[in-house]
Structure 1
């Protein structure tokens, strides 16, 4: 069971990190630039991208905690 938790944590961290970098951060940058240009409809996209980033970092944090406690 200990090896399963360690393996799961090791797989989760890069997987979520990849999707954060690949999808959420470019969406956030694009929507910020559109809001600066004056397009108000991009505000929802910006909030959605921020929410995705926060959820992703939460799961990365939990995976690191799981990894840290599994090694002990």
Structure 2
């Protein structure tokens, strides 16, 4: 279905610079990643919010988060 974000992109956009990108801190390596990222490309997992509703696969929950 797609990339489903832990933090909605709408919220992430509030932390972007004028060029629409944000800095990401990597807790595993204890440093900031070299390149900045767009909200679309961070904090997601494939099909995280995909569910089956009446036997049909849907990501309706992800769409609700995006509004």
Q: TM-score range by the shorter chain?
A: under 0.3
Higher relative contact order (CA 8 A, sep 6+): 1
More helix per residue: 1
* Bigger Rg over Cα: 1
More strand per residue: 2
Q: TM-score, normalised to structure 1's length?
A: 0.27
